[in-house]
Structure 1
Amino acid sequence: MTPLDLAGYLIAGLMTAVALWRMPAALWGDEEDRRRRALWGCYAGFAIALWTKTEAVRTGLNNSAVTDLAVLIKHYTATVAILAILSYIVAIYGSYPEAGAVPRHVRFARLVQQVAAKASVATLILLTVLFFTVVDRSVPSDRFVSDHAGEWGATLYMSVFYLYLGAASAVCAFQWALATADAHRRHLRIGLGMMTFAMFIGVGYTVSRTLFLWVSVVDEPSEAFALRFDQVTEAAQLVLFAFFALGASVPAFSTGARRVRLWRAQVRLHALWYELMASFPDQPFDPPASLTRELTRFNAPADLRIDRWAADIADAVEKLRHYVPDELVAASEEAAARDTADTRRAAALGDAYWIRAALLAKESGAPAGPAAAVAAQQAADQDGEVARLERVAAAYRTVTVERAREVLAAATTRTSETTEQTS
């Protein structure tokens, strides 16, 4: 097995993995996911086409009762995959009123899709006719282009396919280049850029192969040169599919990374949230459960659950203000400043001391009174608030009950001294 054949198996496996990964969302997802069915059809079609190019599959099919059957199947599935990707390009632009102004590139994409649907049917019929009439299939081939270099029938057959493939690649490159320039999210811009690069390779692949075949009709090349040219362009096509598969997966990888961050946030916040909810059991929507149970709840998305936990913690802190003196803020901040020189950690540790001491005060039976002062929070948005709470939760795990009692006692002493001075 040559390195090129091994690479063929790897890329076919990669495209298959992407198709299987995207299949559930495409077939059983919501309306937005259903629009991605066309893109999944592209993955699936190209996955089949790539498997027909692998050494074992192409050898078996080409030596079957229908000589060079792998070539015909490959071109059938690739044609359907190309139609699917053109349909997806139209779908991602969303809906525009029929009578309103529609951007030029959207009108162009819709026109291409309409033409492509008819062209794909014509291409499939013409390929079938040419394959069984003018292509010399007296001997099974291994590398179709190099083996048939100089033959006008195979050249005509491949030119029909390359015309369809090259035009579709050019359209995709153009549309995705526009989308890349307009993309605001970095992961989307990277993914579209990789897919655009892949389509430019596709244009170069089809043009170079078409020229090679027609030049070979006039001046037949040596067997070694034809084979070498075939291998180089095949390698370029494998690079094309690698960039296409990875580029199409980058946005999904970003979504997966966000889910991992949300699960990690749940792990980090759970202990703090659980203790606060145990002190105020009527507050949460569902009774607080173990970390394992919380991570396996599917009645709400992870991001919504994190937002709820952040709100629950804030509400619990607001309630705890009625069980502590104003001086607990200063006592907590002073204790944190003595324990660490890191300003950011000191802020989180001060909040952790305040919460632990406030819980002790409530559990000891302190009567509820006016709301005490609390440290000002400066998170700019919800993500910033969650990040702050993660730091507080991490610090909270290091605060012992004895240390919290010391902080609460210091606050009580300061309160008594303040009362004596004012009286």
Structure 2
Amino acid sequence: MDRARDRAMDDDDETPRRPDPDAGRRAIVVGGGIAGVSAATWLLRFGWRVTLIDRAAPGDPAAASYGNAGILARAGIVPVAQPGLLAKAPGMLLDPDGPLFLRWSHLPRLAPFLVRFLRHGREDEVRRIAAALARLLTDAVDQHRALAEGAPDAAALIRTGDYGFLYRDRAAYEADAFGHALRRAHGMTPALAEGAALRDRDPALAPEWGFAAIYPDHGWIHDPGTYVAALAARFVAEGGTLRRGEVAALDGEGRVALVGGAKMRADRVVLAAGVHSRPLIRGLGRDVPMESERGYHLHLRSASNARPAHPWMATALKVAATPMAGGVRLGGVVEFGGTEAGPTAGPPALLRRAAARLWPGMAWEGEADWLGHRPSTADSLPVIGPVPGAERVVAAFGGQHVGLTAGPRIGRMAAEMAAGRRAPDPDVSPARF
């Protein structure tokens, strides 16, 4: 991964060098979020000449990689669509403290996606999807460390520790047995904490929370926006090109047209533009059942008195809370309403109430809320691999609510496929659509 070191090793090797088949080959990566920065970085390490293009700077608040709970959730293998979700959804929508919001004007456009989404909630499908997600997520911390190698400003923002699921009591935990059984099936077993043991771990927790399942060997990013920006800065320092612009269209021959008329061409194009990938892939004659899972976060600045030592998921609220630079961030709310409408007041208000229910003694000096667009596919799996009929274009999007966790692996897999170093995985290939 250290190209200067590799060159030095080559200089000491008396074996005649063979031409590098990747040397001089050009790649364009569309999308400057975590998956796009990862794909661009790995292609650069493979010896390609790489241009990373996005309408916003990497780490900008306009990107989904900026605003999230920051958790490297290797335990996040349980898809949202599960048996019984259809029966629970109306109650979630009507409950003011429920985690699901809907702009009703968007429902006619959303309905076909929801039908496909709910079909994937059968138990056999959930087990298949969880197995595929386990292959993408369980080494997340190692994938982030590998991506951040040589970028000390980024590496310093990777934290490691526990990730806990909070419940009101043991009965509530046992009612969530299906998800924990899936995690156990893939090698993840939680430690259980109850009563005084839980209070010893987090003394400021409200009495409402009496039981926890705590998974070791997790991580979180202390400042996601700064982290992605630092990775991109390292990419540029190593010889990559960063270009601001909006992509209007792609074709199967590696041509990229920008809004405004500029045109580019490369041997391979990696499409990693998150939810904005869908109109571009439609231009290639394919479609992906994907919606914006509009996600919100609330960042509490200079939070004190009750700052947690590691991330928590309050399961009854479906809200995650993470200690971060300058405070505590809460996230996890889902709203369906498309990409054009602005934020609504309900989700930030719910997150504010959640903070008070988790740590009644917490005080903070200010707050900032955020809305972004998680790219969520109907089967909760990302789309990674050459696009059928346009094999010079490699897809790398669809990270849904685990996009930060999976982004380094999604980007690395896409780079390896673009460079011919890895065969497509049928579980995450665009061919499944």
Task: Give TM-score, length-normalised by structure 2.
Answer: 0.24
Q: More strand by proportion, 1 or 2?
A: 2
Task: Give TM-score, length-normalised by structure 1.
Answer: 0.25
Q: Which has the larger radius of gyration?
A: 1
Q: More helix by proportion, 1 or 2?
A: 1
